[in-house]
Chain A
Amino acid sequence: MKLLSFLFTSSIGRKLIMALTGLFLCLFLVVHLIGNLQLFKADGGYAFNHYAWFMTSNPLIKTVSWGLYAMIILHAVKGIYLAMNNRKARQARYEVSAGSANSSWSSRNMAILGSIIFIFIGIHMGDFWREYKFGDEITWRSYTQDYNTQAVTWTEYTPVEGQKIYAKDIEGGHMLVAKDLYSEVYDAFRQPWIVWIYVLSMLALAFHLLHGFQSAFQTLGINHPSYSPIIQFIGRAFAILVPLGFAAIPLYVLFQ
């Protein structure tokens, strides 16, 4: 452990934490987005609700989730700490500062962009995660899928006291009784103000990643005339496509 204490006590160590947690969060974004694309399916939420159940019940995924929460908090706390410390390193401010002449806007506003994302994560988890795990207003659906035609039919389902989510094979098909997070999402995204909060937050994420993705590689010591242009290209593509993919979900629901 002593060998790793520099991660918490030196300026470069703290940045390594930012880079490693930041890249882990980038990986999470990809997984999260791919899962969420199932919201575009017109199957009454069969695939998505099945997936939501899996993600909240599988022991391995649950362990990774707690790791993820820890990473978000570590990244946010260290980020804010760094930003405050960095401000202390210049107590007297410049009368004229020409930041735009020598650096990108995103790179100068990482802490503000990160704070917007942090608030968003709070709102987002309150909307869906808290409601799914602990809320009592969430409705239930019962699905049956036909093995031959793959067609899915569903009905609203009234849960009994202490109802558990379950799936089982039935004659000629498969059935699922689950919390209907899908409809929860659709109901939320029919309200324009919620959609705008989501879209603007994704804009903040895009700018955070526009600087952050390639910056993490520099922090990890990777800067090479042949590889850095590729990293920068992937970073820009990532920063545009991933937030765009997330923003497409509420926009699709609102304007469908």
Chain B
Amino acid sequence: MSENMNINLKVWRQPSDQNTGSFETYKVQASPDMSFLEMMDVLNEQIIEEGGEPVAFDHDCREGICGMCSMVINGRPHGPKQGVTTCQLHMRSFSDGDTVVVEPWRASAFPVIKDLSVDRGAFDRIIAAGGYVSVNTGNAVDANSVLIPKDTADKAFEAATCIGCGACVSACKNASAMLFVGAKVTQLSLLPQGQAERESRVVAMVNQMDAEGFGACTNTGACAAECPKEIPLSVIATLNREYTSAKLKGR
């Protein structure tokens, strides 16, 4: 086991959306082998022992696939490493004695529920608006009866790896959701199963995205740079193209 490290934490505390929040500072001893969330667990045990209110934060799988963990760490969603979620970030990415500032995703469309936990229901409503394919019930079709070229399947799969975490929104200076929406629109517009609703889908999803109060895209590229699944910026170009052609066709 490696030596424990001393970490100075500055954590955003906010009782609810209705209250204003502020930063609290804490000192934590953590092993470099701990994940960032395990370090937060240590902090919470410490706070509970002292009779305080533990820090609320989202997490579930802790293996980088569910998209629940969030946290902006020193100004960067999911912390300083590329292509990892907060749950997969290890304390060895920091140094002994570091001060680490932890904030929630900040976007008007993601109201704070408590402390570091935000309401990402806006994403669910965008998916509900059109991020699906309709299938007939009945016997299951043979999995390979619809042929899809390998490179198309690969591209669709790449876009499908989005875990809906919202880091793209949190990184964007405009709190834009274009990378998230672009990923889903790209995935479904590439596949034969997605063709029936191709045009109505993109219009409905963009309408919902605008209604939720996300910003517009300035193409800064911050979203793709911070995305833990490394969804490429090209999905936004695809979204622009799909949306414009659907609109020009009168959708």
Contacts and interface: CB of A to CB of B under 8 A. Distances in A.
Interface of A: 3, 6, 10-16, 82, 85-99, 101-104, 107-108, 110, 211, 215, 218-224
4 A-B pairs with the lowest CB-CB distances in the bound complex, closest first: A221-B241, A98-B75, A223-B237, A89-B215
A33 B109 CA distance: 44
Given A96-B103, A103-B220, A218-B233, A88 B108 contact: yes
Contacts, number: 141
Contact of B107 (A10, A89, A95, A107): A89
Interface of B: 10, 12, 23, 72, 74-76, 80, 101, 103, 106-109, 112, 171, 173-176, 206-207, 209-210, 213-222, 225-226, 233-234, 236-244, 247-248, 250
Given A102-B226, A215-B219, A94 B236 contact: no
Given A86-B176, A89-B108, A108-B173, 10 more contacts: A3-B248, A11-B214, A15-B240, A95-B23, A97-B75, A102-B220, A104-B221, A108-B220, A110-B218, A215-B218
Contacts of A107: 218-221
A86 B108 contact: no
25 contacts: A3-B247, A10-B210, A11-B176, A11-B210, A11-B216, A12-B243, A87-B174, A89-B107, A89-B108, A90-B106, A91-B108, A94-B75, A95-B101, A96-B74, A99-B222, A101-B80, A101-B225, A103-B222, A108-B173, A108-B218, A211-B219, A219-B240, A220-B240, A221-B238, A221-B240
A6 B240 CA distance: 12
A11 B72 CA distance: 26
A14 B240 CA distance: 11
B109 A89 contact: yes
A6 B247 contact: yes
A102 B222 contact: yes
Contact of A10 (B76, B112, B206, B237): B206
A12 B206 contact: yes
Contacts of B217: 11-12, 15, 219
Given A85-B215, A90-B215, A99 B173 contact: yes
B216 A82 contact: yes
Nearest to B239: A12
A16 B101 CA distance: 37
Q: Which residue, A10, A14, A103, A222, has most C-beta atoms of chain B within 10 A?
A: A103
A96 B171 CA distance: 12
Contacts of B237: 218, 221-223
A104 B75 contact: no
A226 B50 CA distance: 59
A94 B103 contact: yes
B22 to A, nearest CB: 10
A90 B107 contact: yes
Contacts of B72: 94, 96
B215 to A, nearest CB: 3
B103 A95 contact: yes
A101 B222 CA distance: 8
Contacts of A95: 10, 12, 23, 101, 103
B218 A86 contact: yes
A12 B237 CA distance: 11
Contact of A101 (B75, B106, B248): B75
Contacts of B225: 101-103
A98 B76 contact: yes
Contacts of B175: 86, 89-90
A219 B171 CA distance: 19
Contacts of B215: 11, 85-90
Contacts of B109: 89
Given A85-B215, A95-B103, A103 B210 contact: no
Contacts of A3: 247-248, 250
Nearest to B74: A96
A5 to B, nearest CB: 9
Contacts of A99: 75, 173, 222
